[in-house]
Structure 1
Amino acid sequence: MNQYRKNKGYRALFNATMLTAIGNSLFNIVFIVYASQQPFNKLAITLASMTMFIPAFLDPWVGHLADQTIRKHKWMVYSRILQGLLFVLLASIVMLPSSMMLFLILLVINVASDCLGEYGNGLCLAYFQAMIPTEEVDGVMGFQMSARTMVQLIFQGIAGWAIVQMNYQYSLFGLINACFFFAAAFVVFVHQKDFYLNKGVAEDAQANDAEIEKLSFKESLRFTGKLINKNFALKLLLIVALFFNLLGSSFGSLLNISLLTLSNMWIQNFAQTISLVSVFISVGVLVGSFTINGLFKNWEPHRIIMLALVVMMCFPINILFIQSRVLLFANVLLSGYLMGKINPRISAMMIKIIPQDKLAISSGIFQLIVLIGGPIGQVIFLGSANLFSSTISWAIYLIMTVMILIAMKRTETLNERKMLKAINSSPQS
């Protein structure tokens, strides 16, 4: 919050990021509503849900483009203008008679806009590294994540209500969405002189004088892979985050399946219960990310993830043996709180460790590898719940959580022993 007040460049980037997040949040919900009204609504909703992952899978390539971009401040403007123009195009064709071809075109527009958004975010990372003091990076990332989470919560709710009040005028909604992207572009454009990649040096001068080594995508991938592999802390964090996502991405869906038959754990009814679960997670994330410099301030990110896994281990224990509503919502709130601590720490750690010209692609590769854990977890846990029963699925969940925790602790202990051995064997001065 302190940097937001004092740092003009960061304040402009933050405001532009929030305006872009509003645009993304608004239409993601509205597009699902649009899909539900198509004659082929089941297929449409399935396609719309599946394509939400495409930008994440393209993150390394998009990150590479962002890293290789000269005059990043100009392309932050252009990318948001392009997003706005895409939604102007969407608004002009969305009211045409429904057809699979039209739906696919709209789907491509939505995915292209999300990819441009990722590109813009990748361009911002270098500025965060340059403009934010190292000791304040954790707090800044926490503040940004809490604000983005709040924006998504508020505007997704507004979008669902507003499209009904507007009598499903998707064309008008598309134009409103475009205005947020144009506003984000305007904010960046007006404050271009406040951005720098090297303190005290205008970026245009840097771009003119810089001898930038242009690397191919393959070369950038190889370089980034070596960088992550050489840094034990980053490598351990990547592995821990992968397994955390494997478990974390499935517990919500698995919990929903279990709650269908566990009416004793309902708050009035099933629908209200799963809605409250979502609210508690969001509140936990907000509190955790907003108080990033509070509890667990001095903990390493992988240790917070290990604590989160201990908390997540309580879900199967509660569902299988206790079935307490109080324990369920306490676990959900605490899980969200720890998630709010983890994500900003990961972003901050990468900003501190990764070279400026490899930040975006490193972030993209990291997110892609962690994302892979999601579908694997869905196949294991939801597959076993449908083939056998949710009880067996929760038992597998519990066993895997314990095994992952033991493996992580052993890895951490072995590394500490290696470091101690290296120190003891080093020549004494």
Structure 2
Amino acid sequence: MNVFLKNKNYRKFSIASFLSSAGDILFYLAFMTYASKLQNYSLALSLIAISESIPRLFYIVGGYFADRTKNKYRNIVLAAIIRFMLYSIVGFLLISNLSQWNLVIIIAGINFISDIIGTYSGGLVSPLIVNLVGNDEFAEAEGFTNGLGEIVNVSAQFIGSGLLLFLSYSNLAFINALTFLAAGLLFANVGFKQIFNKETKTQQDESVNDQNFIDTVKSSYQQAKKEHGLLTIIFVMAALNGSLGSMNALVSIVMAANRSTMIISSYSFTLAIIGVVGSCGTALGSMFGPQLTKKLSIFSVTNFSIVIDVCAIVAILAANIYLILPLFFLITVTASTASLKLTQWLVSSVDRTVLASSMGLLNTIVMIAVPVMTTVFSTISGTTNVKYALILLLLVEIVELVIAIRLSMKTKKTEVEISTSVDSK
């Protein structure tokens, strides 16, 4: 929070991100509502879901091109302006005479292009924030932004559902476009000041990657590999996120089968409570986790998170919603804290020239784990029984915990040996 309040340029960057994110959510709700009223709504909603999910797999590609960008401020402003133009086109399309299905297909395509540009823009943001706040305060800055962003996103969902009562779909598309324009102006304001800062300009010139894509990925991998335990903890964190995604899918099945012990008021209300509890946990963990766990290693926080995961699976097997909710809250708090510690470790371990690519690789690994694990355990649940899926997930979590504990002990042993070697010299 201190970084947000004291660093004016970083504060503008954060507000720009909040604006574009909130606008995206407003339009997403509007687009989903529009598609849900079509005759073949299932196909339309699936098409939208695909257009939203596929771009998330391109984080590493977006990061690679961001690393190769010399004038990052100019391009992040340009990306915002292009997205402003794209959603302005969407606004005009929604008041045109095109058939509903043609509109859905075209808008889904535009949304896909916008999200691809968003992966590139996101890659540009990380190195620029490091330049603005420094390596040491990056985790605190990123954590506060993520936490506040989570609150903004939840608020935007409620605001969006309210705006749909008296605003048209095209109006919400124009509002989304204007949020990108406002974000672009804020980026431009910060960038204009940084252009005349010789030290910052030198840092940007020096942090341009000139390797091809394969060499960049290899470079990111090799640099991460030098840090003992970093690669392993990345995969442990990916599995942890995948497990959480799987639990969210399986708990809804358990709710349907055990309404007397799992439902609070109604099925939809219970799902909403679970979502809000998770969002609150992520927000609090992101905003305050790094400060509260400064003396704890990422291994300790990860181990604790996995232990809570195991307890949550047991609670789901017991079909007790009042045990599940506080455990879900603790999982999201600890998982978001561990994620930020991992990001901080990565930022301090790799060269600035491949920072965005490394961040993209990290995000890609984490993003792939969620749909893969969710699909596997949901399939097991659908073909056999949800209890078998939960028991298998419990075994996976126990394996994760064993790996994490062994890694923690091995890392501590290595640190002691290095410390002893240095003292002897």
Give the letter for the 2:287 counterpart.
F
Which residue in 2 is equivalent to 1:307? 304
- Alignment map for 1:241-320 (pairs within 5 Å): 241-263=237-259, 264-320=261-317
Which residue in 2 is equivalent to 1:80? 80
Identity of aligned residues (%): 22
Give the letter for the 2:335 counterpart.
M
Which residue in 2 is equivalent to 1:116? 117
**Do structure 1's residue 330 and structure 2's residue 334 form an aligned pair?**
no
Report the alpha carbon displacement of residue 196 of structure 1 after superposing the two structures with TM.
Answer: 6.7
Structure 2 contact 207–353 (Cα < 8 Å) conserved: no
Structure 2 contact 72–124 (Cα < 8 Å) conserved: yes
Structure 2 Cα separation of the partners of residues 28 and 154 of structure 1: 14
| Farther off after superposition, 94-103 or 373-382 | 94-103
- 1:183 counterpart SS class: helix
Structure 2 Cα separation of the partners of residues 212 and 273 of structure 1: 48
Which residue in 2 is equivalent to 1:410? 406
Give the letter for the 2:137 counterpart.
E
Q: 1:393 to 1:239 in 2, by over 3 A?
A: same
Structure 1 contact 138–292 (Cα < 8 Å) conserved: no
Q: TM-score, normalised by structure 1?
A: 0.91
Which residue in 1 is equivalent to 2:216? 220
Q: 1:195 to 1:234 in 2, by over 3 A?
A: farther
Structure 2 Cα separation of the partners of residues 293 and 102 of structure 1: 45
Which residue in 2 is equivalent to 1:18? 18
Structure 2 Cα separation of the partners of residues 228 and 333 of structure 1: 31
Structure 2 Cα separation of the partners of residues 178 and 273 of structure 1: 33
Residue 199 of structure 2, aligned match among 191, 198, 201:
201
Structure 2 Cα separation of the partners of residues 302 and 117 of structure 1: 32
Which residue in 1 is equivalent to 2:8? 8
Structure 1 contact 8–194 (Cα < 8 Å) conserved: no
Structure 1 contact 125–351 (Cα < 8 Å) conserved: no
Structure 2: 5+ residue stretches without partners: none
Q: 1:273 to 1:218 in 2, by over 3 A?
A: same
Which residue in 2 is equivalent to 1:37? 37
| Farther off after superposition, 394-403 or 371-380 | 371-380
Structure 1 contact 127–196 (Cα < 8 Å) conserved: no
- 1:299 counterpart SS class: coil
| Farther off after superposition, 83-92 or 129-138 | 129-138
Structure 2 contact 245–374 (Cα < 8 Å) conserved: yes
- Alignment map for 1:395-406 (pairs within 5 Å): 395-406=391-402
Give the letter for the 1:193 counterpart.
F
Once the two structures are superposed, residues 66-87 of structure 1 have per-residue CA deviations (whole angstroms, 9 ceiling, x without a partner) of 1111111111111100010000
Structure 2 Cα separation of the partners of residues 385 and 147 of structure 1: 35
Which residue in 2 is equivalent to 1:385? 381
Structure 1 contact 129–352 (Cα < 8 Å) conserved: no
Report the alpha carbon displacement of residue 163 of structure 1 after superposing the two structures with TM.
Answer: 1.9
Once the two structures are superposed, residues 186-205 of structure 1 have per-residue CA deviations (whole angstroms, 9 ceiling, x without a partner) of 112223233379x75252x7
Structure 1 contact 67–358 (Cα < 8 Å) conserved: yes
- 1:260 counterpart SS class: helix
Once the two structures are superposed, residues 112-160 of structure 1 have per-residue CA deviations (whole angstroms, 9 ceiling, x without a partner) of 1122222222112112212214332222122111111011111122112
Structure 2 Cα separation of the partners of residues 233 and 18 of structure 1: 33
Which residue in 2 is equivalent to 1:48? 48
- 1:232 counterpart SS class: coil
Report the alpha carbon displacement of residue 420 of structure 1 after superposing the two structures with TM.
Answer: 4.8
Structure 1 contact 88–175 (Cα < 8 Å) conserved: yes
Structure 1: 5+ residue stretches without partners: none
Which residue in 2 is equivalent to 1:185? 184
Question: How many residues are aligned here?
Answer: 423
Which residue in 2 is equivalent to 1:157? 158
Give the letter for the 1:151 counterpart.
V
Structure 2 Cα separation of the partners of residues 298 and 134 of structure 1: 18
CA RMSD of aligned residues (A): 2.4
Give the letter for the 2:108 counterpart.
L
Structure 2 contact 299–405 (Cα < 8 Å) conserved: no
Residue 356 of structure 2, aligned match among 344, 356, 360:
360
Give the letter for the 2:373 counterpart.
G
Which residue in 2 is equivalent to 1:71? 71
- 1:134 counterpart SS class: coil
Structure 2 Cα separation of the partners of residues 304 and 229 of structure 1: 21
Which residue in 2 is equivalent to 1:107? 108
**Do structure 1's residue 92 and structure 2's residue 95 form an aligned pair?**
no
Report the alpha carbon displacement of residue 426 of structure 1 after superposing the two structures with TM.
Answer: 8.1
Residue 239 of structure 1, aligned match among 226, 235, 238:
235
Structure 2 contact 3–140 (Cα < 8 Å) conserved: no
